[in-house]
């Protein structure tokens, strides 16, 4: 059967060259694959722009031919959908293959300007070549993750520059009509402050292009942090699941008073040792989730407790940082439950070194070991907001543990804690080669989404196959977005269905 998008592909080839289009079956399979319960969502083809002008041309041709586009940058976005489109038959616009330049680094004002294909590893390497005077905030995901893509999906890291959207400035956007918009002060021709003045003049437009299908961002300014001479992490373990409430109460004042400059991570046992272990099916007779006695055994093997708390201090010298370490030690050890682990001990543990890397701006792939916890490497993320109140944290923990256990899955979670709210990153790990388990994982995610929404807690991000359902939980917002979408994208060619907006 002929590809209905072929006239569009022919036009793209004529304009951008034959290598700008790929419709080979193996390519469609690769770009349609994901790790989600929904299974593969193959595109009609893939196009490879090399510039903003190329993107404009592709968008205009898509309007002419009525072809829906699915823009993607680089990296894999493993827990949320890889490069797969939200609907089969959309055309993937792979911005990362050819648009991968670090356009500018300003060492005086501490910012970089990047195209969609620039990875955390690439920018980290370039900053290293320049003497590591500056550092970027990274995720704990793989080094080949994309800076621009993570920012646009409200991704975050762990250093004081953790808020990737907050630390972005100056978007270059191709609108669904093919026009180019530059936000912040970039709208002024010849602007000298495009990447410095975040809010600019008039209404703030950058937010329209976050988790949306209202434009294709082709260039982004990202603020960088002066690298401190010394970074020293601290770790504390707590022995019991129920200790989460006390941990949250201990963490909150440290962040409200800004004593600890990094976010503070509160990591569950399976999330921690799962980076190094695989599920011991041979010892459970195939029973899931992991029995408590085996959880405790694996904790002891890796020197962990039910919870691992981590954060870091920065300073001009170890002598300057040490009093801060002593202060936070006294704070946690007053509980009578915490056990302290030093930065030096952390350097000797692969499980703990992940945290050292993230607090120092070092891209790491060690956390990807979690994907080997079960055969088949299925993974989907559930990311509800969690108020920094101990009682609520334990109520959420009980809710999640119950729903996950009912569906046969482990509680694998990391709370990334700010002063008022934590992002409760659940990783739902399952065997995606097992159809029954895949369907069960989908039911489990929906049950979590429904239960948390009924309790008053919304997710911050959603995997491709759950975006429509997540958006449907909100009142008023879908209708407003639909009106904006119709105004900016009258032909509805740009990622229809993304985040539940058609």
pLDDT digits 0-9 by tens, 379-388: 999 999 999 9
DSSP 8-class letter at 146: B
Kindly tell me if the per-residue pLDDT of 122 is higher than 60: yes
**What is the mean predicted confidence (pLDDT) over 208-213?**
96
Lowest-confidence region among 96-100, 135-139, 368-372: 368-372
Lowest-confidence region among 142-146, 229-233, 479-483: 142-146
Q: Would residue 468 count as lying in a domain?
A: no
Asked whether residue 41 falls in the same domain as residue 142, the answer is no
Q: Would residue 482 count as lying in a domain?
A: no
Asked whether residue 206 falls in the same domain as residue 245, the answer is no
Asked whether residue 396 falls in the same domain as residue 430, the answer is yes
Asked whether residue 236 falls in the same domain as residue 222, the answer is no
Q: What percent of the chain has pLDDT over 70?
A: 99
Residue 16 dihedral angles phi and psi, to the nearest 5°: -110, -10
**80: pLDDT confidence band, cut at 50, 70 and 90?**
confident
DSSP for 463-480, written as a single string: -GGGHHHHHTTSSSHHHH
Q: What percent of the chain has pLDDT over 90?
A: 90
Asked whether residue 254 falls in the same domain as residue 399, the answer is yes
Asked whether residue 252 falls in the same domain as residue 367, the answer is yes
Residue 463 tokens read as 């995997």
Q: Would residue 486 count as lying in a domain?
A: no
Kindly tell me if the per-residue pLDDT of 1 is higher than 80: no
Q: Would residue 359 count as lying in a domain?
A: yes
CB 70 within 8 A of CB 495: yes
Among 159, 194, 226, residue at a domain's last position: 226
Strand, helix or coil at 379? strand
The CATH number of the domain holding residue 164 is 3.30.465.10
Lay out the sheet containing 21-22: strands in order across: 21-22, 45-47, 91-94, 69-72
Kindly tell me if the per-residue pLDDT of 121 is higher than 80: yes
Distance CA 422, CA 162 (A): 13
**What is the mean predicted confidence (pLDDT) over 232-241?**
98
Strand, helix or coil at 415? strand
Among 204, 226, 248, residue at a domain's last position: 226
- Position with higher pLDDT, 208 vs 83: 208
Among 226, 245, 274, residue at a domain's last position: 226
pLDDT at 2: 62
Kindly tell me if the per-residue pLDDT of 128 is higher than 60: yes
Give ∠ CA 195-193-201 in degrees, rounded to 5: 95
Print the domain residue range for 66: 6-97
Kindly tell me if the per-residue pLDDT of 433 is higher than 60: yes
Kindly tell me if the per-residue pLDDT of 81 is higher than 80: no
Asked whether residue 367 falls in the same domain as residue 455, the answer is yes
Asked whether residue 200 falls in the same domain as residue 114, the answer is yes
Asked whether residue 237 falls in the same domain as residue 291, the answer is yes
Asked whether residue 292 falls in the same domain as residue 363, the answer is yes
pLDDT in tens, 40-75: 889 999 999 999 999 999 999 999 999 999 999 987
**What is the mean predicted confidence (pLDDT) over 10-22?**
97
**350: pLDDT confidence band, cut at 50, 70 and 90?**
very high
pLDDT at 79: 65
Q: Would residue 429 count as lying in a domain?
A: yes
**301: pLDDT confidence band, cut at 50, 70 and 90?**
very high
Asked whether residue 285 falls in the same domain as residue 147, the answer is no
Q: How many domains does the chain have?
A: 3
Lowest-confidence region among 78-87, 216-225, 314-323: 78-87
**What is the mean predicted confidence (pLDDT) over 129-146?**
93
CB 214 within 8 A of CB 208: yes
The CATH number of the domain holding residue 423 is 3.40.462.10
| Nearest to 223, CA basis, from 187, 205, 198 | 198
Q: Would residue 410 count as lying in a domain?
A: yes
Asked whether residue 371 falls in the same domain as residue 261, the answer is yes
């Amino acid at each position: 059967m002929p590809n209905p998008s072929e006239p569009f592909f022919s036009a793209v080839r004529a304009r951008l060259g034959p290598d700008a289009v790929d419709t080979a079956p193996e390519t469609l399979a690769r770009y349609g694959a994901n790790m989600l319960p929904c299974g593969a969502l193959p595109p009609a083809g893939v196009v490879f722009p090399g510039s903003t002008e190329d993107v404009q041309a592709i968008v205009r041709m898509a309007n002419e031919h009525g072809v829906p586009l699915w823009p993607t940058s680089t990296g894999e976005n493993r827990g949320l959908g890889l490069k797969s489109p939200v609907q089969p038959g959309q055309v993937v616009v792979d911005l990362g293959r050819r648009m991968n330049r670090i356009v500018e680094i300003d060492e005086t004002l501490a910012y970089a300007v990047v195209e969609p294909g620039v990875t955390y590893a690439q920018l980290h390497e370039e900053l290293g070549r320049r003497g590591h005077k500056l550092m970027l905030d990274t995720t704990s995901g793989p080094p080949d993750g994309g800076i621009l893509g993570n920012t646009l999906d409200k991704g975050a890291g762990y250093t004081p520059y953790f808020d990737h959207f907050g630390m972005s400035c100056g978007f270059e956007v191709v609108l669904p009509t093919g026009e180019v918009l530059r936000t912040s002060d970039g709208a002024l021709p010849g602007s000298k402050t495009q990447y410095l003045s975040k809010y600019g003049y008039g209404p703030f437009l950058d937010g329209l292009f976050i988790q949306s299908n209202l434009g294709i961002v082709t260039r982004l300014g990202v603020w960088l942090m002066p690298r401190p001479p010394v970074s020293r992490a601290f770790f504390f373990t707590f022995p019991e699941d129920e200790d989460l409430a006390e941990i949250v109460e201990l963490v909150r004042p440290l962040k409200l008073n800004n004593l600890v400059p990094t976010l503070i991570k509160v990591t569950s046992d399976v999330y921690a040792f799962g980076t190094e272990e695989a599920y011991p099916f041979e010892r459970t007779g195939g029973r899931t989730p992991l029995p408590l006695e085996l959880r405790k055994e694996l904790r002891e093997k890796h020197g962990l407790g039910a919870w691992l708390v981590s954060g870091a201090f920065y300073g001009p010298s170890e002598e300057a940082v040490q009093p801060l370490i002593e202060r936070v030690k006294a704070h946690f050890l007053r509980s009578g439950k915490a056990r302290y682990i030093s930065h030096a001990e952390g350097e000797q543990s692969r499980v703990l070194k992940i945290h050292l890397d993230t607090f120092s701006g070092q891209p790491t792939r060690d956390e990807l070991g979690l994907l080997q916890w079960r055969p088949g490497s299925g993974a989907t993320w559930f990311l509800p907001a969690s108020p920094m109140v101990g009682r609520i944290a334990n109520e959420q923990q009980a809710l999640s543990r119950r729903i996950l256990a009912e569906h046969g899955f482990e509680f694998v979670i990391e709370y990334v804690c700010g002063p008022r709210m934590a992002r409760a990153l659940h990783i739902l790990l399952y065997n995606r080669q097992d159809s029954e388990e895949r369907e069960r994982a989908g039911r489990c995610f929906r049950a979590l989404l429904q239960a948390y929404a009924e309790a008053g807690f919304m997710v911050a991000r959603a995997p491709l196959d759950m975006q429509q359902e997540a958006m449907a939980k909100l009142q008023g917002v879908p209708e407003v977005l639909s009106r904006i979408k119709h105004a900016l994208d009258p032909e509805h060619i740009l990622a229809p269905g993304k985040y539940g907006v058609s």
